[in-house]
Amino acid sequence: MKALVKQHAEPGLWLQDVPEPETGPGDVLIKVLRTGICGTDLHIRSWDAWARQAVTTPRVLGHEFVGEVAAVGSDVQDIEVGDTVSGEGHLVCGKCRNCLAGRRHLCRSTVGLGVGRDGAFAEYVALPASNVWVHRTQVDLDIAAIFDPFGNAVHTALTFPLVGEDVLITGAGPIGIMAAAVARHAGARNVVITDVSESRLELARKAGATLALNVSAHGIDEAQRQLGLKEGFDVGLEMSGRPEAMRDMVDNMTHGGRIAMLGLPAQEFAVDWAKIVTSMITVKGIYGREMYETWYAMTVLLEAGLDLTPVITGSYGFRDFEAAFDEAATARSGKIILDWTR
Ligand SMILES: [Zn+2]
Ligand SMILES: [Zn+2]
């Protein structure tokens, strides 16, 4: 089968013929239909410091996908050949304290699909049945392909109660934009999102942000004034991993404000801890999705009319992966889809 492979420990990706994945009695073999390109995949293509320590070659990339079940192992129940499925990209150990307690998203031995084991940028992918999410209601295939990052957005946005609250989101990448849509849908009063890319801010406006602010030209305090906020934001969703964004956020929170932080900083940085203490701010790190509470929430949010279509800005056949990755690497794009059927 064809697959996008990190074949060599150097920048680049290679479209290659590889054997179909092997499956055991508890596994599901999935014919991949569409995949989403993630920042993680861009790091692995460019072979930066993170990728060099996280990935061994050769490795099939990709963790955001939708596909059709092609075969199920003898122990698999409730998943049928022909089902439309996506996959939870974090494979957990099942044995650590958190796994045993049912808090699988807190597993300390998580292996990433397309990072620590062969992934979904291929004509077929195999997963344990416990990592397969069956779409039991009609879902747009492009949206189904990005359930993994949509789950990051939902997990982060719904970490703290939002109803009637004023929400600040720093970083209008695809996950920040989806989080803005989720926050509005879930009943936030104002959702302010910041970035330095005008085209991404425009996507965030389409997705429902109350105010999309270019922080290269305007301070977040200006947004507060414009919206009539007097005491700062109640909930912060940090999506950029940028030191200046986290500092801006801390500066603009209300006393007792709560920050969910998904953006992954590239290195250590300083923040005003005295302000976090005296403003009594809660900061919570978010990684991945809750299995499977987040997946349930995603499905019902879509059923209830949440519209994510503005976040998808490009679609390519898998043979045009170089152009697709180049577009995904710009600061302009939303989510880019690779289609494995054309
Ligand atoms: Zn991803
Ligand atoms: Zn575990």
Query: Helix, strand, or coil here: 329?
Result: coil
Contact present, 173 and 39 (Cβ < 8 Å): yes
Helix 293-303 and helix 147-157: axis angle, to 10°?
100
Domain ranges across the chain? 2-146+308-339, 152-285
What single-letter DSSP state applies at residue 104? G
**CATH architecture group of domain 152-285:** 3-Layer(aba) Sandwich (3.40)
Sequence-distant (6+) residues with CB within 8 A of 23 are: 29, 71, 73, 126
From first to last of its 342 residues, the chain has per-residue pLDDT tens of 999 999 999 999 999 999 999 999 999 999 999 999 999 999 999 999 999 999 999 999 999 999 999 999 999 999 999 999 999 999 999 999 999 999 999 999 999 999 999 999 999 999 999 999 999 999 999 999 999 999 999 999 999 999 999 999 999 999 999 999 999 999 999 999 999 999 999 999 999 999 999 999 999 999 999 999 999 999 999 999 999 999 999 999 999 999 999 999 989 999 999 999 999 999 999 999 999 999 999 999 999 999 999 999 999 999 999 999 999 999 899 999 999 999
Ligand 1 centroid – CA 119 distance (Å): 12
Spatial CA neighbour of 65 closest among 340, 329, 333, 324: 340
Cis upstream peptide for 292 (omega within 30°): yes
Amino acid at 208: G
Active-site residue, 254 included:
no
- For the whole model, what pTM was predicted? 0.97
According to the model, what pLDDT value does residue 243 have? 98
pLDDT at 312: 97
Report the alpha-carbon distance of residue 264 to residue 24 in Å, rounded.
Answer: 34
**Which residues have CB under 8 Å from 188's CB, separation 6+?**
162, 163, 164, 165, 166, 167, 235
Q: How far is the first Cα of the chain from the last one, in angstroms, to the nearest whole number? A: 14
Give pLDDT, residue 239. 98
CB within 8 Å of 134: residues ≥ 6 apart = 78, 79, 83, 84, 85
Coil/strand/helix, residue 81? coil
Which residue of the set 23, 40, 84, 156 is catalytic? 40
Helix or strand or coil: residue 213?
strand
> Considering the domain 2-146+308-339 in this protein, what is its CATH number?
3.90.180.10
| Ligand with minimal distance to 41 CA | 1
Q: Compute the distance from residue 95 Cα to the ligand 2 centre, in Å.
A: 5
Q: Distance from the CA of 103 to the center of ligand 2, in angstroms?
A: 8
Please give the single-letter amino acid code of residue 331: A
Paired tokens of 303: 């059923």
Tell me what pLDDT residue 262 has.
98
Per-residue model confidence (pLDDT) at position 331: 86
Query: Does this chain's domain 2-146+308-339 share its CATH topology with 152-285?
Result: no
CA pair distance 106, 119, nearest whole angstrom = 21
Is 155 catalytic? The answer is no
How far is 142 from 308, CA to CA, in rounded Å? 10
Name the token pair of 314.
């490009």
Residue of 337, 279, 305 whose CA lies nearest to 36:
337
Q: Are 327 and 45 in contact (CB under 8 A)?
A: no
Q: Are 63 and 38 in contact (CB under 8 A)?
A: yes
Residues in the 5 Å CB sphere of ion ligand 1: 38, 64, 149
Classify 21 as helix, strand or coil.
coil
Exposed/middle/buried for residue 101 (C-beta within 10 Å: 0-12, 13-18, 19+): exposed
pLDDT of 62: 98
Q: Residue 216 and residue 219: Cα distance in Å, rounded?
A: 8
